[in-house]
Amino acid sequence: MHRDTDMCRAQFHDTPGHIFQNYQAQIRLSVKVRFLVGLAHEISEAIGTTNMPQVREQLGGLAANAGMVEAMLTGMEASGSQRGEFYLPNRHLVYTAQVATQDLYPRLINLIRDLAGGSLIILPSSFRDWANPELAPILRKTQRSANFTSEDKVKLLKAAWDAVGSEFVSRHTQYEMFYAGAHFVATGHSYRTFDWSTARGMVDHLLSTYDLDGAEETPPA
């Protein structure tokens, strides 16, 4: 492969390598999304908003997004094919998942931040505050929750900040948006692997069933 750019490309796209690599990435992402959606529900429990209709709507949307990512993973497995001794996940559905989740992940993070609201801001600056005899009583009053102790609520919301607001997660968001390449690269893979002949064939079949004056030549199937 040294100084041979075509061979370098071929090792990924003329073999199952690129598909297996990105299939693994979708397994990883499906687990990550399920964790984030679970975190969103925990946040709403901690701040007491779970039963508000608009919050249930947002949680239901987040759950549907998690289901969509898992469904795409299941679909690429179920519609895969044998290639020699290896079973290869459906190539186009792998790239479909990449395109969809590049847009999905940052929206998911922002939806969770929206659900959390100001609860991620009004937190003690350090765990040492709990040992301060003046601050600890104030924290126990201001961080009360119907479902959590004050300490457990703060513990959860600090973890939530690490997952949706910190420098650490900012890097994660950038990674999920670009690990498959720039958006035009991911959509290019999708364009290249889609079954255009079947899709266009459906259109051609429809057009063959009538002429310009609207008279039907053959009954549609």
Could you tell me the residue ranges of all domains in the chain?
Answer: 5-196
Task: Give per-residue pLDDT as tens, 182-201.
Answer: 999 999 999 999 999 999 99
pLDDT of 216 higher than 80: no
What's the pLDDT at 12?
80
Cα(89)–Cα(23) distance, integer angstroms: 7
Q: Take residue 9 and report the two structure tokens written for it.
A: 């490309």
- Buried/exposed code over 58-84 (b: 16+ C-beta within 10 A; e: otherwise): bbeebeebbebbbebbebbeeebeeee
Tell me the whole-structure pTM to 2 decimals: 0.84
What's the pLDDT at 221?
62
What's the pLDDT at 11?
83
pLDDT of 27 higher than 90: yes
Contacts of 32 (CB under 8 A, 6+ apart): none
Angle at which helix 17-47 crosses helix 5-13, to 10 degrees, equals 60
Grade residue 217 by pLDDT with cuts at 50, 70 and 90: low
Are 158 and 125 contacting, i.e. CB atoms less than 8 angstroms apart?
Answer: no
User: 5-196: CATH homologous superfamily?
Assistant: Butyryl-CoA Dehydrogenase, subunit A, domain 3 (1.20.140.10)
Are 97 and 28 contacting, i.e. CB atoms less than 8 angstroms apart?
Answer: no
pLDDT of 57 higher than 70: yes
Handedness of CA 66, 69, 75, 80 (dihedral sign): negative
Mean pLDDT (the chain, rounded): 91
pLDDT of 29 higher than 70: yes
pLDDT of 214 higher than 80: no
Q: Give the mean pLDDT of 97-103.
A: 95
Grade residue 219 by pLDDT with cuts at 50, 70 and 90: low
